[in-house]
Amino acid sequence: MQSKSTLPSHEIEAVSINDDDLTIQQVIAVTRHFAKVEPFAGPKRAKTQRVREYIEKNWFSDSAEARYGFNTGIGSLKSVRIPQEDIREFQKRYIKSHCVGVGKPLDIATVRGAMLLQANSLSRGFSGIRAIIVDKLLEMLNLGVHPVVPEQGSLGASGDLAPLTHIASALVGEDEAQLWVSGERVSIKSLKSTDGQIEFIDKGKQITFTPIELEGKEAISLTNATAMMLSMAVHLLYDAEVLLKNADISAALSLEAMMCEKDAFAEELHALRHQNGQINTAGNISVLIADSQRMSKAARAAYFDFAAAADIKNKTQAGGREIDIPAVLAFQKKYEFHENRVQDSYSLRCVPQVHGASKDAFTYVKNIINREMLAVTDNPVIFETDAGEFVSKSGGNFHGQPLAVALDFLAIALAEIGSISDRRMFRLLSPRMSFGLPNNLTGGEIGLNSGLMMVQYTAAQLVSENKVLAHPASVDSIPTSDNQEDHVSMGWTAARKARQILKNVQHIIGMEYLSASQGIHLSARDESVSLQRFRLGKGTNTAFATIAEHETATGDRLFLRMDVDRYLHRLITAMEKLSTDGHIVDAVENVCTLRI
């Protein structure tokens, strides 16, 4: 098997849960790129079997003492003893009664992540389940047996009960459960053969899966965990890292388009603050704009002369008074165009401080998520005594509060990335704030063409929506189960909100890319200010070229300069995909290293 962490997720061919350090890259390899998961084996399997053998010998009989989760009801029914002859039936009824999810189905990648992470947690040998339960979860992953899991219904304590039970319902072959088959939702009942196997053809491949009947403790172990919110958190982190790098690149392109000052990104300035994210962001901007000739007094002066000459010509042709008084032009160049800028607005010069704070939050959240990937979140859990016996201890490791707070923090951090990106975009569209770029970044006749005005309208709506979504879910709680579960995390809600914020900000950054690229095109539209005369920086040149030269599958180049209005939805969608898929980041990182 390939070594961990050293390969990008799409190059990882196989993943093992037999070690303790499952990585984010490995999870993504399984969920999005369908890497195989190796069989459950080694010391962890041996421990799982040894614990189960003890439990079956000593804890499952009518004479055995009552133990929560093994031979009792659950939640507020914790004191109700279940006879030994009804233990299997209890597992079946538990699954039926806990499949209560509603709403649209979750994406397959998130569901696959939950299956993998739950198998990984159960494999540690503290749950008291049979090893075959882990085997069957891995078999489902490797075969492509994907349960349909509704998006809503988890309180984040006791874990993600409802969504995880929908996965378990497929594991046991519940007739009313559904699977994804060639993109369609199909009931398991319609897929069962006469001998109870689940059989179907998906993407031309014959799939046969044999459901399993659960034994004592196994239903609760399959569902009492944080695996679903953890799966969404892992995917969020993976995508957020790309987003944070895209944000630095799009910001640098906006700086180039407006020919901003460089001093705000000096290494020695940020070293005084001692904040890692800020220092790393300033370093990223510096390497992106390294050797830029556009971010200079000479380029600003040349652009002003070009813009002023065009303005005089337009006014003269329209019969207006010719603006040719040297004193007026000198005043405009110095005080309105800011030939000597000194410092730019906050959304431009404070990129390191704002992006950096979000990166520090990202790092904090990543540490929480990495620890959770090592966790056992079942209840109750089994421990071995010094005498070689086993005891069960009931606690609350399923409580999602660590993830809930972290995901709320991530949501706030990502919302701020979108907020400051919108402010940069807003400046690009204003001749007064962009230092002379055409109104609304219009390439042709202004008025007849509306330019990119409406792009910022959409960004504004997304930023406003993010402000609502950024309200923390983790500060809320509603008691359940006859007040037995009187404080819940709402971690699943936090995860879903953070995911929506991420999607919104991905769109916003794509819009800034579109606006900044158009701004650069327009700032270089005359030979006197061309990109050949005043070149872009080392990294920004690569990013700009990647955008300008991008071709669709049909050979269509979308991102050339717009001299007349175009159907902007298509461009916004294409730019969001180009950036979110990592194409721009990958191209830039071929010429310079970006840090989080």
Token pair, residue 199, equals: 């059989």
563 close to 443: Cβ distance less than 8 angstroms: yes
Residue 550 has, within 13 A of its CA and on its CB side, a CA count of 22
Token pair, residue 295, equals: 């971010």
Residue type, 488: V
- Which residues neighbour 93 within 8 Å (Cβ) at sequence distance 6 or greater? none
CA 184 – CA 29 distance, rounded (Å)? 24
CA 87 – CA 239 distance, rounded (Å)? 43
Residue 398 has, within 13 A of its CA and on its CB side, a CA count of 29
Helix (H/G/I), strand (E/B), else coil: 167: helix
Residues with a known catalytic role: 68
Residue type, 72: T
Three-state secondary structure readout of 267-325: HHHHHCCCCHHHHHHHHHHHHHCCCCCCCCHHHHHHHHHHHHHHHHHHHHHCCCCCCCC
Token pair, residue 314, equals: 């337009």
276-288 vs 351-372: helix crossing angle, rounded to 10: 120
Token pair, residue 490, equals: 């709402």
222 close to 133: Cβ distance less than 8 angstroms: yes
Nearest to 579 by CA among 527, 503, 522: 503
